Amino acid sequence: MTTRTYLDHAATTPVLPAAIEAVAAQLALVGNPSSLHASGRATRRVVEESRELIAELLGARPSEVIFTSGGTEADNLAVKGAYALGRLQGRNRVVVSAIEHHAVLDSARWLASASTEGAELVEVGVTPSGVVDLSELAAAIDSRTAIASVMWANNEIGAAQPVARVAELAHRVGALAHSDAVQAVGHLPVDFAESGLDLMTVTGHKLGGPVGVGALLARREVGLAPQLHGGGQERDVRSGTLDAAGVAGFAAALQVAVAHRDAERARLESLRAGLIDAVLAAAPDAVVHGPAESEKRLPGLLNVELPGCTSDALLLLLDAAGIDCSAGSACSAGVSQASYVLLAIGRTEAQARSALRFSLGHTSTVADIGAVARALPEVLARARAFSAATR
């Protein structure tokens, strides 16, 4: 089998050995964590010890960790559950940034379009570097607001957001504040209590855990409306039998990611710098998106515009050369359209259609950067020739 260069860690990252071990150990056992017999209690112990560890690592209380099937479910629960609570208080406004993950954006847009919900949606703009416009956000969050949701770090251009300020603005008028921290955890310092947030989304597979498990961190005082009904698990907010193996793997991966975060950040920053050099050597006219300051962005994400060619052609040619990357969020995979994130920061349709996202992770090496450096000149030449011929 040919070795490939995997540079799509923002979509999903390889499972860490510690997580594989934790999952395998639990899969060898039996027991529903809601059962009262010894096998059930043993499984429950694994779940609760994992909950305690996750809470400790993320600056939360164990009772604030609500396990879900991943980030998408957690975002839906946060946005829809908080809106339902707000409606009981006479609030019908939902405020989000224009560059939110689709799990937040589409949840908010559904609330605004569904005849039974009656939500007023405000999508707040961002600066050219991808940071939410705080003056526009402050004007949007008023006494009618049920929830304001701004992601901790953007999944396409890596821009970190001022989530503590978002929480302050929301609390000033009695609204709830949520942040999707899926991309940030393990790469940036994330502390739920210090942030002031009411709700925060995390998931396992972005940091070396298994796919299919995540959590919504929710302050105990927040009475979210359930979006799933059944056995009443997870504070009566998220019914369903818990995946004990997945939860254990999630906790194990998070522990490794947080323990190595600072060293890994420095390593990824160095690799990213090398990747930028490789791109600019092949395409001096390339445009790098997102904040220039390292402390204001994710360390291993590079979104770069390559004029004169399309993302689709670049992806296919790089794929053929053994290099995995993307043109944006994996949740939009298979849909050929300009990135809404790049459009939001002011790029034209044509410019947005010429961008690639390289994302680095715990398996990335200098050799990976070398592979891109070797492949990119020919890939660019072929992509540009194809683009010129089809105009």
Q: Which of 134, 331, 343, 373 is catalytic?
A: 331
User: CB of 87 within 8 A of CB of 79?
Assistant: no
Q: Provide the CATH number for the domain formed by 17-259 in this structure.
A: 3.40.640.10
pLDDT at 303: 98
pLDDT at 65: 98
pLDDT at 331: 52
Q: Which of 88-97, 191-200, 338-347, 382-391 has the lowest mean pLDDT?
A: 382-391
156, pLDDT greater than 60: yes
Instruction: State which amino acid sits at residue 256.
Output: V
User: CB of 289 within 8 A of CB of 249?
Assistant: no
Q: What is the Cα–Cα distance from 99 to 123, expressed in whole angstroms?
A: 9
User: CB of 290 within 8 A of CB of 183?
Assistant: no
pLDDT at 116: 85
329, pLDDT greater than 80: no
Residue ranges covered by each domain of the chain = 5-13+261-389, 17-259
pLDDT at 1: 45
Mean predicted confidence (pLDDT) in 272-295: 97
In order of 3, 57, 186, 297, 381, the CA distances from 53 in angstroms are 35, 6, 14, 26, 50
Mean predicted confidence (pLDDT) in 318-331: 85
The pLDDT tens digits of the residues spanning 93-143 come to 999 999 999 999 999 999 999 988 889 999 999 999 999 999 999 999 999
**386 band by pLDDT with thresholds 50, 70 and 90:** confident
331 catalytic? Reply is: yes
**2 band by pLDDT with thresholds 50, 70 and 90:** low
CATH topology of domain 5-13+261-389: Aspartate Aminotransferase, domain 1 (3.90.1150)
Half-sphere exposure for 161 (CA within 13 Å, toward CB)? 34
